[in-house]
Amino acid sequence: MIITGFLVLTLFQQPGQGFDHPKHKALFPSCTSCHAGVATKGESLWPDPVSCTTCHDGTIEKTVVWRPPTSPRRSNLRFDHLGHAAKAKDKSPSCAVCHTLAGEPRMAVRAPVVQRCLDCHGIRTAHVAAPDTACATCHVPLARAASFSRQDIAKIPAPPSHAAPDFLSRSGHGAVSRQTVGTACATCHAQEFCYQCHAGSAPPRAITWLASDPRSTAIVARAAPAAHGDNFADRHATVAAASTTSCTSCHVRADCLECHRPSAARGAGYHADGFLARHPASAYAREASCSDCHNVGVFCSSCHARAGLVASGVLRSGYHDARPFFVAGHGQAARQGLESCVSCHVERDCLTCHSAVGGRRFNPHGPGFDGARMRRKSFAMCTVCHGAAVP
Amino acid sequence: MKHVLVLLVLFASPLAAQGYRLRLDGRFQTVGYRGVQLDSIPVTDTVAGPGGGPTTPDGFAVRCPSGAPYCLFFRPGAVQRGAPFVSTADASLWGFGVRGLSAHATARAAVDFTGSNAWPGTDPALQLLTAYAEYSVERLTARAGRQLNSNRLGMIGFDGASITVRDGRHGLDVSLYGGWGLARGVALPVTSPALNPIADFQPSNRQLLLGAEAGWSGRLGDVRAEYLREVDPASDYFVSERMGFAGVARPAAGWSLGAGADYDLAAGWWGSAEATLGYTARAVSGAFGVRRYRPHFDLWTIWGAFSPVPYTAVQGQVSIRALPQVQVRARGEHYRFSDADVSTPLVRVEQSGWRGELGMTASPAPSWTFDAGYTREFGPGAASVGTSASVTFAPAAGPYAVSLHGAAMDRPLELRFSESVLHLYGVDTRYDVSPSVRLELGAVRYAEDRRRPDPAAIDWGQWRATVRAVFAMGSGDDLGRLPPAVRR
């Protein structure tokens, strides 16, 4: 059976427009009388406009202006009528099977009904929910759909699988892509689409199996993985430390440096508005590791010094006036908040008392101090207090 | 030489695919604040204050070291005014004719127009944060130049080379890097005069740095190990030697268990560590864990020998999207320092503390966001309790956003007679002139009421204003319209 009537090869189902097929049903008993190209090699898919003037001459019927399309319709289907008929042989459907809905008359012609394709090919799901292996049955890879514009690509519907919470994770699209990137993924995507996120490090192998097509960025991938969730900025440290390669799949150094860099230019960003005012409470018992981003000497000390919060070698100035005898009993506070101490004090302040050479020989070493190891690892540091006579 | 040039010209690949990304970020701020200034007075000139203690004739409470002929006190200092302009440039270039070859640089220029250096980080005026060439293919990434490695041992800056070899099929990667190290938290070598305030024993040579990392990533989890050693070439002794371990397990969708620790090989003690169980779903996310924090000091300072003690914390947080437009959040942490084991317990300070926050974010209309929070923290050294709120109008189709924010806070100190109530009001605006140009304007007022019964209750209140402009430009049509998480 010869297939006729496939007027449009497109993804989008559109009702037949322009030519009113039902109105002409008595005139054309055969589809191929107008659309000879679907059955005969070398013939045009479209009727000759001159044939319309047989009736539409301005006398019998009003004249019509119609020209057959000069360029192929925008499509990503791999279908062509002759090839499909040759391959399907005696299973090849009639024109009406594909171009009408079930129960409609032969000339209620419309764009190809996708469900008919699915039915014949044994795909028992909705169109975009079809199994990954099914896409290539009807569609060419995006890179070969040359007639598709960026606008067409942007309108491609997303399969329901893409809405799964973990789809953006390694176990989601990552696992799928390793199996079907060349068939299913390639239908809608090309390398450039993947590079929208996978730009931070060498791309996963699956991406290299795709073709290159700049149009693929018409589909914009911007969503963050669901695993990030809320407050991820506050708790990403552990994940980032253990899964650096996962992070670098999507992120580049500039993303990290937005917060993690010693920049005096940063205002509200990593820290909330007004953090300056409450930073003492956060810094005394480090809510986070301040020194990862802020050098104590350049950042803390210089600012405190400008504000007058600097020891200047005068330990008995009484700045810590809420505790009598603080100088004599500061040990616990110092061991708990040494990073805070050194944001105002320099080593010379402490060596006034805590030195075996020239000081008062107060032993600063506390719990966990391994003198032998320290001597072995950094003898020079020991000599600061002990001179050459390191015990 | 001529022959080499001829050969280069003959065999050079075309640069047709060359592209670049450049991001310029300029921020101008004005700030003025009053600090304190140490002063003294002869003991004989002091008078008895209202509480019976010695004061200056004009009412400043003084502290008179026993046996000393003078007493000390802090006067309000001069108002410090600063007008810093800080500009940062991020640049990436690729397409040199060799696929996978690119170059990256981040530089910062800073100047204080008042010349007062009231703003930290403006010396030296020009700083190079990163500048390296990268060659990256599927199995290998190599870099040379100034780099910044981020791992659980911190942000490791160095001038040198690094190489990463990976087997993507099995999720394995191994990295090795080395060179001359930079100081922690800043893109300056430890020999820089700008770091001089930190210590009296500044090294005369930059430390040599060598690090290695190895990791495995799989569907159910990741594990990673790191090693870093820094050596002073002048003495051949360690500046630091540490190693770290971390892992994340993903036993089920939405669930993760992460843990890690670092060990200081030079000091012989465990540093920071943490273990966190997390759950994330569409409407609920939360985490619960324990962590331990111990500061790390390089061994060219003496601070590591003072035995800083760690604290151990239990923490949890939860965020619930109660309604599509409303999200509530809560988090809390309780921590306790290990015993400091001091021999002179004349002064007891708080050994434990806690932090907590309750908050809510609501978006009753697409363009409006309201946020409110209550925070409270109490612990050694300082405490604070406060509320904050903000309202933001950011139309989805509009190129601008306006945010008003305010906060009230009570912040007592533990070791100094100082408790102040602070009110903060601010406004931030953003205007996207074009997709590549963004302007920001902000102002904030800190209004402080310092509660101290003598004239030392100085007024720290101040205005801060900020003007910022961000320019992003680039070429390479294939990389157009990319989200932020891409090469720039």
The beta-carbon neighbor of A261 closest among B129, B188, B428 is B129
Question: Residue B21 in 3-state DSSP?
Answer: strand
- Tell me how far apart the alpha carbons of residues A102 and B193 are, in angstroms, rounded to a whole number: 84
As a whole number, mean pLDDT of residues B255-282 equals 91
Judged by CB atoms closer than 8 Å, whether chains meet at A197 and B483 is answered as yes
Counting residues of chain B whose pLDDT is more than 70, the rounded percentage is 91
Residue A168 in tokens: 């953006």
What is the per-residue burial (b if ≥16 Cβ within 10 Å, else e) of B88-120? Answer: bbbbbbbbbeeeebbebbbbbebbbebeebbbb
**Contact (CB, 8 A) for B153 and B228:** yes
- Look up tokens 């969503």; give the residue: A223
Q: Is the pLDDT of residue B94 over 80?
A: no
E strand or H helix at A87, and its extent?
helix A81-88
Position B15 confidence tier, pLDDT thresholds 50, 70, 90:
very low
pLDDT at A3: 38
B186 contacts on A by Cβ (under 8 Å): 262, 295, 298-299
pLDDT at A267: 39
Q: Is the pLDDT of residue B28 over 80?
A: yes
Q: Which amino acid is at B402?
A: V
B171 contacts on A by Cβ (under 8 Å): 245
Residue B341 touches chain A, beta carbons under 8 Å: yes
Q: Which amino acid is at B281?
A: A
pLDDT at B477: 39
Q: What is the dihedral of CA A38, A39, A45, A48, to 10 degrees?
A: -150
Question: Residue A334 in 3-state DSSP?
Answer: helix
Chain A: give the shortest CA distance to residue B185, in Å: 4
Question: Residue B23 in 3-state DSSP?
Answer: strand
Q: Is the pLDDT of residue B152 over 80?
A: yes
What lies within 8 Å, CB to CB, of B120 at 6+ separation is: A264, A298, A299, A300, A302, A303
Q: Of the candidates B156, B160, B140, which has an alpha carbon nearest to the alpha carbon of residue B148?
A: B156
As a whole number, mean pLDDT of residues B356-361 equals 92
Give DSSP secondary structure letters for B59-94.
S-B-B--TT-SEEEEEEEEEEEEE-EEEEEEEEEEE
Judged by CB atoms closer than 8 Å, whether chains meet at A265 and B259 is answered as no
Query: pLDDT digit string (tens) for B370-383?
Result: 999 999 999 898 88
The beta-carbon neighbor of B237 closest among A297, A298, A380 is A380
- Residue B67 has a CB neighbour count (10 Å cut-off) of 5
Judged by CB atoms closer than 8 Å, whether chains meet at B88 and A265 is answered as yes
Residue B251 touches chain A, beta carbons under 8 Å: no
Q: Which range, B108-112, B179-183, B298-302, B424-428, is most confident?
A: B179-183
pLDDT at A24: 84
Per-residue DSSP letter, A224: P
Counting residues of chain B whose pLDDT is more than 90, the rounded percentage is 39
pLDDT at A234: 66
What's the average pLDDT block by block, 10 residues per block, for chain A (391 residues)?
Answer: 36 52 83 86 86 86 85 83 84 84 84 86 83 82 88 86 75 76 81 74 71 81 66 71 71 64 43 77 82 80 77 71 82 90 86 84 89 90 87 81
The beta-carbon neighbor of A251 closest among B100, B139, B485 is B485
Residue B18 in tokens: 């060359």
**Contact (CB, 8 A) for B254 and B279:** yes
Residue B104 touches chain A, beta carbons under 8 Å: yes
- Tell me how far apart the alpha carbons of residues B225 and A197 are, in angstroms, rounded to a whole number: 26
As a whole number, mean pLDDT of residues B169-183 equals 91
Q: Of the candidates A77, A81, A220, A210, which has an alpha carbon nearest to the alpha carbon of residue A140?
A: A77
A381 contacts on B by Cβ (under 8 Å): 237, 299-302, 304-305
pLDDT at A135: 85
How are the residues of chain A apportioned to helix, strand and coil, as percentages rounded to the nearest 5?
Answer: 45, 0, 55
- Residue A275 has a CB neighbour count (10 Å cut-off) of 13
Residue B79 touches chain A, beta carbons under 8 Å: no
The beta-carbon neighbor of B411 closest among A217, A255, A280 is A280
pLDDT at B375: 92
Judged by CB atoms closer than 8 Å, whether chains meet at A321 and B169 is answered as no
Regarding predicted confidence, which is higher, B136 or B405?
B405
Regarding predicted confidence, which is higher, B451 or B313?
B313
Q: Of the candidates A333, A345, A365, which has an alpha carbon nearest to the alpha carbon of residue B267?
A: A365
pLDDT at B144: 97
Position B481 confidence tier, pLDDT thresholds 50, 70, 90:
very low
- Tell me how far apart the alpha carbons of residues A356 and B338 are, in angstroms, rounded to a whole number: 27
Judged by CB atoms closer than 8 Å, whether chains meet at A292 and B300 is answered as no
E strand or H helix at B288, and its extent?
strand B284-293
- Residue B486 has a CB neighbour count (10 Å cut-off) of 20
Q: Is the pLDDT of residue B271 over 70?
A: yes
Domain layout of chain B by residue ranges: 358-475
Position B174 confidence tier, pLDDT thresholds 50, 70, 90:
very high
A179 contacts on B by Cβ (under 8 Å): none
Query: pLDDT digit string (tens) for B192-212?
Result: 888 866 567 888 899 999 999
Position B238 confidence tier, pLDDT thresholds 50, 70, 90:
very high
What is the per-residue burial (b if ≥16 Cβ within 10 Å, else e) of B148-164? Answer: bbbbbbbbbbbbbbbeb
Regarding predicted confidence, which is higher, A209 or B481?
A209
Judged by CB atoms closer than 8 Å, whether chains meet at A329 and B347 is answered as yes
Chain A: give the shortest CA distance to residue B10, in Å: 28
pLDDT at B175: 94
Judged by CB atoms closer than 8 Å, whether chains meet at A336 and B380 is answered as yes
As a whole number, mean pLDDT of residues B457-466 equals 86
pLDDT at B273: 94
Chain A: give the shortest CA distance to residue B488, in Å: 7
| Positive/negative CA dihedral, A210, A215, A217, A218 | negative
B405 contacts on A by Cβ (under 8 Å): 273-274
Position B145 confidence tier, pLDDT thresholds 50, 70, 90:
very high
Judged by CB atoms closer than 8 Å, whether chains meet at B118 and A306 is answered as yes
Judged by CB atoms closer than 8 Å, whether chains meet at B424 and A200 is answered as no
Q: What are phi and psi of B341, to 5 degrees?
A: 55, 50
pLDDT at B229: 96
pLDDT at A280: 84
Q: What is the dihedral of CA A203, A207, A211, A217, to 10 degrees?
A: -80
pLDDT at B64: 85
**Contact (CB, 8 A) for A142 and A204:** no
pLDDT at B17: 42
Judged by CB atoms closer than 8 Å, whether chains meet at B258 and A238 is answered as yes
Chain B: give the shortest CA distance to residue A78, in Å: 26
Size of the A and B interface in Cβ pairs below 8 Å: 494
pLDDT at A79: 85
The beta-carbon neighbor of B246 closest among A175, A241, A251 is A241
pLDDT at B5: 53
Residue B187 touches chain A, beta carbons under 8 Å: yes
Residue B157 touches chain A, beta carbons under 8 Å: no
Closest chain B residue to A342, measured at CA: B198
pLDDT at B242: 96
What lies within 8 Å, CB to CB, of B12 at 6+ separation is: B97
pLDDT at B358: 95
Query: pLDDT digit string (tens) for B42-65?
Result: 999 999 888 788 899 988 888 887
